[in-house]
Amino acid sequence: MNNAKNILVTGGAGYIGSHTCKILAQEGYQPIAYDNLSAGHRRAAKWGPLELGDILDRTALDRVIKKYSPSACLHFAAFAYVGESVTDPGKYYRNNVVGSLTLLEALRDHGVDQFVLSSTCATYGVPDRVPIDETLTQAPINPYGATKLMVERMLADFHAAHQLRSVALRYFNASGADPDCEIGEDHDPETHLVPLVLEAACGDRDAITVFGTDYETPDGTCVRDYIHVTDLAKAHVLALKGLEAGLTHRAFNLGNGHGYSVREVIASVERVTGRSVPVKFGERRPGDPARLISNSTRAANELQWRPEMTELDDIISTAWEWYQRRAQEKSRQN
């Protein structure tokens, strides 16, 4: 590994970042996880050095970039709670926008000209058609989506001014866990549907609340496109290889192209775990589109990326294995 290319991975101790570090290492790269551990976990940085630092800290960024001379940066470090972004927008604009700008300027000044952004389908807002392809107008309806769209705009401008070559990956609902059960989803607070339903199935949560049952969908609940986290990780490495091969400035949607409703997710958890899930029903949440489904044809054609784990039960099975593993670890610690 001494001759491996160093890749700076901001947020490399987080959920998607750590899974990507594992794939990077498997593909012969040396991931350098750069994380302030506000949401990441030291134990998740297993495939290369962990450097503690914040993307708002230019001095720390300069130190790490100078130390490792990375050939590229994969940027995951961001706050990503939609609801919190509405109640505390300043936190999101400061970290996601100013932090990303600080990072981009540091990379520019050190001559790092390849960049992969963890972006989101939230940049599209409420789509006027599904499935969503990259030609759809981006009109975010919350500060989280707005901050990611602003970073995408910065990438376009840095490409024009400084020849930064970049790929923005707009993903849909990241889910599941490493099939080897080495890492998984461990947020605090947890807001993602699959782990919340697993908590309810295990009695670690009183019930799962279904927000809205009157949407124009087959069963009245919201439909989302669930993409396995390892498939997302592989897409980042393919994007990196695309940049190495000459890709300049591009955006790609990442999803399975198939939607599952909230009720279908609950039913899948019940099948996988063999347990019943207590359910409560609530009002619609403002800004929740009825259906978000990806058209990922561009990624298939240009990156040769296709998700390998497409069945909901298979995705949830990996999350369940990880959930059980973490529960065992916590019980031993107690």
Q: Is 164 exposed, middle or buried (0-12, 13-18, 19+ CB in 10 A)?
A: buried
CA 329 from chain centre, in angstroms, equals: 25
CB neighbours of 85 closer than 8 A, spacing ≥ 6? 79, 91, 92, 142, 143, 144, 147
Q: At what angle do helices 193-201 and 312-333 cross, to 10 degrees?
A: 60
Interatomic CA distance for residues 189 and 197, integer angstroms: 14
State the catalytic residue, choosing from 15, 92, 124, 144.
Answer: 144
Distance in angstroms (rounded) separating the CA atoms of residues 276 and 198 = 10
The yes-or-no answer on residue 171 being catalytic is: no
H/E element holding 251? strand 249-254
User: Catalytic residue positions?
Assistant: 144
